[in-house]
């Protein structure tokens, strides 16, 4: 299904049954909404309205040349447009990697019930070398714009200042957050933040699909009760 937004097409989907609420899946960098396809055939679909989006430049969505469409802020705006398209509101935001940062941005501008972040790096330097590489080789202005928008954010501070509960869900072998343990320990002291560790790496929803699905179902059950 496609939604036209500012002259370009966003690929989006809806599945499941809205008994307990709405879940909005926000994918990470170098991926798309298919990373969350497992949820369509899980018990989640029996209780939740599941909404999927491919941001501009990802998956089956259009790839505008305008750099302004390729930022965290724009991705959150695109997600809100999809929510409005499906007449949905106040979602539980599930963000993988960069998608966790998009979830933070979304929650700062729009109503959301809770955030579940999986594998979202906490430090800026995880993107710094990538940014230098792309800028040096001029491979893609849109990628440069995205990385720059990521580097401008202070993720731990945004989490601390959040007005809604946040669950930080991560794989014990996740390469991208292997140096974030001290930051995570500090964040766990915040009353609205909960840490959940599981086996696996950065893309556990693919490599450990069944286990990831069960863990996610349990988290959503906690939110709904």
Question: Which of 95 and 121 is assigned the larger pLDDT?
Answer: 95
User: Structural domain boundaries of the chain?
Assistant: 2-224
CA-based nearest residue to 203, from 43, 13, 28: 28
Contacts of 131 (CB under 8 A, 6+ apart): 144, 147, 148, 151
* Whole-structure pTM value: 0.90
Over residues 90-105, mean pLDDT: 96
* Residue environment code for 26-58, b if the CB has 16+ CB neighbours within 10 A, otherwise e: bbbbebbbebbbbbeebebeebbbbbbbbbbbb
What are the beta bridge partners of residue 169? 118, 196
> Quick one: pLDDT at residue 222?
78
pLDDT band at 219 (very low <50, low <70, confident <90, very high): confident
We find that the CATH architecture of domain 2-224 is 3-Layer(aba) Sandwich (3.40)
Over residues 130-145, mean pLDDT: 58
> Quick one: pLDDT at residue 125?
64
How many angstroms separate the CA atoms of 216 and 169, rounded?
9
Structure tokens at 88: 């949905």
Over residues 199-223, mean pLDDT: 78
Q: For the chain, what percent of residues have pLDDT higher than 70?
A: 91
């Amino acid at each position: 299904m496609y939604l036209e937004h500012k002259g370009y097409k966003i690929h989006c989907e809806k599945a499941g049954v809205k008994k307990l609420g709405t879940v909005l899946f926000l994918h990470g960098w170098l991926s798309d909404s298919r990373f969350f396809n497992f949820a369509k055939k899980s018990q989640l679909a029996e209780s939740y309205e599941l909404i999927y989006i491919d941001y501009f430049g990802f998956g089956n969505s259009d790839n505008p040349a305008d750099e302004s469409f390729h930022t965290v802020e724009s991705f959150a705006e695109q997600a809100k447009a999809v929510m409005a398209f499906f007449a949905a509101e106040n979602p539980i935001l599930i963000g993988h990697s960069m998608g966790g940062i998009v979830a933070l941005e979304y929650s700062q501008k729009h109503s959301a019930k809770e955030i579940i972040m999986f594998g979202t790096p906490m430090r800026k330097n995880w993107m710094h070398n990538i940014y230098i590489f792309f800028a040096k080789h001029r491979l893609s202005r849109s990628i440069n714009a995205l990385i720059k928008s990521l580097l401008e954010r202070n993720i731990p501070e945004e989490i601390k200042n959040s007005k809604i509960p946040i669950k930080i869900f991560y794989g014990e072998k996740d390469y991208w957050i292997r140096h974030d343990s001290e930051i995570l320990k500090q964040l766990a002291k915040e009353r609205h933040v909960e840490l959940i560790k599981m086996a696996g790496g950065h893309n556990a929803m693919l490599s450990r699909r069944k286990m990831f699905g069960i863990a996610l179902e349990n988290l959503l059950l906690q939110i709904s009760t």
